[in-house]
Amino acid sequence: MANTDLNERFEKVSEKAKTATDQLKAASEKTKDQLDSDVAAAREKASAAAEELKGKADDAHEEASSRWQEIRGNWDDHVAKVRADVATRKAELDAKEAAKDADRAENYALDAIEFAEAAIDEAEYAVLDAVAARAQADAEAV
């Protein structure tokens, strides 16, 4: 894979984050029904991305992908549990419970952001390592 391919893929991460940021800023102007619709669409998009990632991980080499598969599996389990917990709690629409649910949802969002930041750092490292490995291979080929 050429360095430009890696650069382009990494740039898409920034573009995706920017799009999400813009959508989050616009969320404060939306009605509850619009927000519910956006939440459902975002969940569907996240699930589709997770499935795509699972497919890619399943196709990857065992040695390199086994740890990522474990992390992805743990993340999938965590997401499923949090979503189930949130769904259960949403059924209890008591004002105090709704506030607690909001706190939990916000904490979950912060956790997801921290995970994304760590994943971006890891992706940056992986891209730079791949570029360095390719440069080393090219240098040794001469």
Give 63 or 99, the one with higher predicted confidence.
99
- Count other C-beta atoms under 10 Å from residue 76's C-beta: 15
CA-nearest of 116, 131, 109, 130 to 13 is 116
Looking at the structure, tell me whether residues 44 and 86 fall in a common domain: yes
CB 13 within 8 Å of CB 126: no
Residue-range definition of the domain harbouring residue 75:
30-91
Confidence of residue 107 (pLDDT cuts 50, 70, 90): very high
The pLDDT score that the predictor gives to residue 103 is 92
CB 26 within 8 A of CB 34: no
Lowest mean pLDDT among 13-27, 83-97, 107-121, 122-136: 83-97
Residue 104 belongs to a domain: yes
pLDDT of residue 93: 65
pTM above 0.75, yes or no: no
125: nearest Cα among 1, 10, 4: 10
Whether 19 maps to a domain, the answer reads no
Please indicate, yes or no, if residue 9 is contained in any of the structural domains.
Answer: no
- Mean of pLDDT values over 71-89: 85
Shared domain for 39 and 57, answered yes or no, is yes
* pLDDT per position as a tens digit, 23-78: 888 888 888 888 888 888 888 888 888 787 777 766 665 655 677 778 888 888 98
Together in a domain, 60 and 102: no
Closest CA to 69 of 79, 57, 81, 56: 57
Is the pLDDT assigned to residue 102 strictly greater than 70? Answer: yes
Are 120 and 13 a contacting pair, CB within 8 Å?
yes
Helix axes 95-141, 62-90, angle to 10 degrees: 170
